[in-house]
Amino acid sequence: MATGRTHRPATRSRGIPEATVARLPLYLRALTALSERSVPTVSSEELAAAAGVNSAKLRKDFSYLGSYGTRGVGYDVEYLVYQISRELGLTQDWPVVIVGIGNLGAALANYGGFASRGFRVAALIDADPAMAGKPVAGMPVQHTDELEKIIEENGVSIGVIATPAGAAQQVSERLIAAGVTSILNFAPTVLQVPEGVDVRKVDLSIELQILAFHEQRKAGDAEAAAAAAASVLPPRAADGPTRKGPDGDVPAVMPA
């Protein structure tokens, strides 16, 4: 999960659990694929497999939306596509701005998945005057000076930050002051935002670090398994009420 919400700790969204909301786009994608193949109905089992979840979870998720299935048959693909789209608010148009048109910003601007789901890139904004006017993804880059004007004129409520870390906080403040209430942050910084503003973050480095943790553990497991096979003692035996470092491999010398 390359992500993380920010506030709204208690306020659960209209009775739909956050975890369910996070999966709806997944279901929607699978359903759209079925729709394109003109499949009329799916069972929870089939759809769950396509979305990479288990069927009980999927049925529970759908139960929060209403009773949209038919017992003994399954779910009507078209109907579900519509209901989920509506639930996610994709039946309306969402103008977004992308701030920071470096490699990543350009990649986002070119990303087809935006336009296809009700999202419309209203503007590309960069602080570099040399970028101004340059076409990226068939759209002229605009200077940061125009930020407030663009947001107000287009009624933008969702902003994407793809700037360097150092600029992100200030950009977010300008976006919010101009009326943005949802931010997708690609900069590796924790944004400080007022109550009522949603922030989701995508952090490449964090994702890799989590993978590294598990990768390391696989190697450790292999060793542990080998050791366990060779020894009679179970792995992780002697580990009583010792403190200061749950491992055996705590270095004698700490780094300065």
To DNA, the closest distance from the beta carbon of 84 in angstroms equals 13
Judged by beta carbon, residue 147 or residue 201, the one nearer DNA is: 201
Binds its own copies (CB under 8 A): choice among 123, 130, 218, 223: 218
Which residues, 38 to 97, sit near DNA by CB under 7 A? 42-45, 53-57, 59-60, 62-63, 67-75
Which residues, 173 to 212, sit near its own copies by CB under 8 A? 181-184, 188, 190, 196, 198, 200-212
Which pair of tokens denotes residue 191?
A: 């944004």
Binds DNA (CB under 7 A): choice among 8, 12, 134, 149: 12
Rg (CA), the chain: 24
Exposed, middle or buried, 76 (CB in 10 Å: 0-12/13-18/19+)?
Answer: middle
Q: Which residues does 127 contact at the CB level (< 8 Å), separation at least 6?
A: 100, 143, 144, 163, 167
**What, of its own copies, DNA, none, does residue 178 touch, CB below 5 to 8 Å by kind?**
none
To DNA, the closest distance from the beta carbon of 78 in angstroms equals 15
d(CA 210, CA 212): 5
d(CA 246, CA 236): 10
Mark residues 93-132: x for contact with its own copies by CB under 8 A, - for none: -x-x-----xxx-xxx-xx-xx-xxxx-------------
Which strands, in side-by-side order, build the sheet including 69-70? 41-42, 74-76, 69-70
The contact set with DNA (CB under 7 A) reads 9-10, 12, 17-20, 42-45, 53-57, 59-60, 62-63, 67-75, 243
